[in-house]
Structure 1
Amino acid sequence: MNIAFIPVRGGSKSIPLKNIKEINGRPLVYWTLKAAEDCNYLEKIYVATDSTQIKKVVEDFKFSKVIVIDRSEEVSSDIASTEAVMLEFASKYKFDNIVLIQATSPLLQTQDLDRGFEIFNKKEIDSVVSVVRQKRFNWEIKDGFAVSTNYNIYNRPRRQDFEGYFVENGAFYITSKENLIRFKNRISGNIQICEMSEESYFEIDEPADWIIVENLLRQHQNVDRLDIKLLATDCDGVLTDGGMYYSDSGSELKKFNTLDGMGFELLRNLGIKIAIITGENNSLVKRRADKLKVDDIIFNQKDKLQSMNDLCEKYNITLQQCAYIGDDIFDLPAIEKVGLGCAPCSALDIVKQKANFVTNKKGGEGCVREVAEYIIKRIDGGNL
């Protein structure tokens, strides 16, 4: 059984009762609870607190998976470690795997937890830690002088060519109960990372953090309330797995997924237009588009944003009323400008970083259906 564990103390010196202080219209702890509640990998969510005020606020959310438990005085002090709270919990409750979630990371999304568990479930992985990629040039003092530690000062890389490095963002940590007790640590053994969006770097520790995170939450909320009139998608790497297949006679073949066809149909039922924009000119794609009753198919187009602008003019809508799914560099301008930019989990890292929504499924494995469901859930009156 997979469970989430969220420790929330009543005592906070920098921001009194910050875990239930309202941020963007909701108590702080609500945001991580909502992300965990919607995670299919989690059966139960335990909130450990020493505060009756926090207990009441959390219980009033009426989340189906959430259980509020007490934490002892010994592990509720300023000097008590998070591991001490986790170990106290582990000694009293049954579970197989645990994800520690920090309430001070409200930018955590359900899809982040889903991807974290998918990584954790891989062979030989003992723990997963959430991280963000930073592209900063680091220095240290050595023998009295400043020395760069992660780049050559005589060959300064451009930001887009700099891979950067990973930093813990404190959002979540996954491990097994067995390893938690054995190593007395939130992560151990063979550790893997789960990369989250760059903005999730921010945690709420000080009042200044509050201002930054609240603005970011507002942006997220604007995305959550969708008014989508058109969904456009790239073909290879989204509708297909990007592979190149050939028959014995040398004819090119492509692998499509029936789940995506149903996704298109669900959106059409809501009056949403469907378009495919591809850099190819392939009869296979044309036949597939015809079968799916796609409204528009645009061939030989690498400038996806230009095509999106043309479609907006055709249907008298704005880019903010469009969703776009892509997996490669040519898709980036469109992903950045539309109301909902999406990418399959198999997309390039830079594309996933810029997308508003990253699917759990790879290209060709039903990722478009996943986007369709995401849109439908966020349209007023939309039901699956």
Structure 2
Amino acid sequence: MSYKKYLNKITTLIFDVDGVLTDGSILVTTKGEMYRKMHTKDGFALKTAVDKGFNVCIISGGNNEGVRFRLKGLGIKDIFLGAHHKTETMNLYLEENSIGKEQVLYMGDDIPDLQVMKEVGLPCCPQDAVQEIKRVSKYVSHKKGGKGCVRDVIEQVLKVQNKWLDSYSVSATYD
């Protein structure tokens, strides 16, 4: 079955950070500070999804306050950093919000995302995800992690649901 048949059922978008919202690189300073770079087009799409009423959730094994600051600035409230049991974290989030797994698009890129991706309605990944993740994905973006893959999947969901740029009104700065 084509992944496009799932797009209209999606109410919840869950993303990993490293390798999805970023290209997976971490810049480490001599003081031990870690920096990540995110794409503004992904930020625009995330903010648009929030403004259109989608549940947007971040589940990442990494724990970086700069990442949290960026995501909160986009209006994302459900941010789980330092989540070493992603499936457990997701299941609790879905239960607390009465969301069915078939309503979930999850985008991950590496082995820590494998089990959670097997449980959702629409598992997706960036072009440069590892092979194990590509095998369980119903959609592999033509964009790489940190290079617009998040925008790619969000735009597709919103377009199918006639919510992409209809009466355009994104409320916050996304860059």
| Selected match of 1:303 from 85, 88, 93 | 85
| Selected match of 1:255 from 24, 37, 40 | 37
| Selected match of 1:382 from 136, 143, 163 | 163
One-letter amino acid of the structure 2 residue matched with residue 344 of structure 1: P
Q: Within 5 Å, which residues of 2 pair with 1:62-101?
A: none
Distance 1:306 1:223 in 2: 27
Q: CA shift at 1:364, angstroms? A: 0.8
1:264 equivalent in structure 2: 46
Please say if 1:294 is aligned against 2:71: no
1:361 equivalent in structure 2: 143
Quick check: which has more Rg, 1 or 2? 1
Tell me: CA distance 1:221–1:370, structure 2 relative to 1, closer, same or farther (3 Å): closer
Tell me: CA distance 1:265–1:356, structure 2 relative to 1, closer, same or farther (3 Å): same
Structure 2: which 5+ runs fail to align?
Answer: 166-175
CA contact (8 A) 2:6 2:121 kept: no
Deviation string, structure 1 residues 252-283 (Cα, Å, up to 9, x no partner): 11111111111112212321011111112211
| Selected match of 1:352 from 110, 131, 134 | 134
Q: Within 5 Å, which residues of 2 pair with 1:235-246?
A: 235-246=17-28
Q: CA shift at 1:382, angstroms? A: 3.0
| Selected match of 1:333 from 108, 112, 115 | 115
TM-score of the superposed pair, with normalisation by structure 1 = 0.41
Distance 1:307 1:223 in 2: 27
One-letter amino acid of the structure 1 residue matched with residue 60 of structure 2: T
Structure 1: which 5+ runs fail to align?
Answer: 1-218
Deviation string, structure 1 residues 110-140 (Cα, Å, up to 9, x no partner): xxxxxxxxxxxxxxxxxxxxxxxxxxxxxxx
Q: CA shift at 1:303, angstroms? A: 2.2
1:324 equivalent in structure 2: 106
Q: Within 5 Å, which residues of 2 pair with 1:1-384?
A: 219-220=1-2, 223-247=5-29, 249-379=31-161, 381-384=162-165
After superposition, the CA RMSD in angstroms is: 1.8
2:169 equivalent in structure 1: none
2:173 equivalent in structure 1: none
Distance 1:225 1:243 in 2: 30
User: Across the two proteins, how many residue pairs are aligned to each other?
Assistant: 165
Tell me: CA distance 1:272–1:319, structure 2 relative to 1, closer, same or farther (3 Å): same
Percent sequence identity over matched residues? 36
Q: SS where residue 124 of structure 2 aligns?
A: strand
Q: CA shift at 1:250, angstroms? A: 4.2
Q: SS where residue 56 of structure 2 aligns?
A: strand
Distance 2:7 2:40 in 1: 28
Q: SS where residue 337 of structure 1 aligns?
A: coil
Higher strand share: 1
One-letter amino acid of the structure 2 residue matched with residue 271 of structure 1: G
Tell me: CA distance 1:363–1:225, structure 2 relative to 1, closer, same or farther (3 Å): closer
Tell me: CA distance 1:373–1:246, structure 2 relative to 1, closer, same or farther (3 Å): same
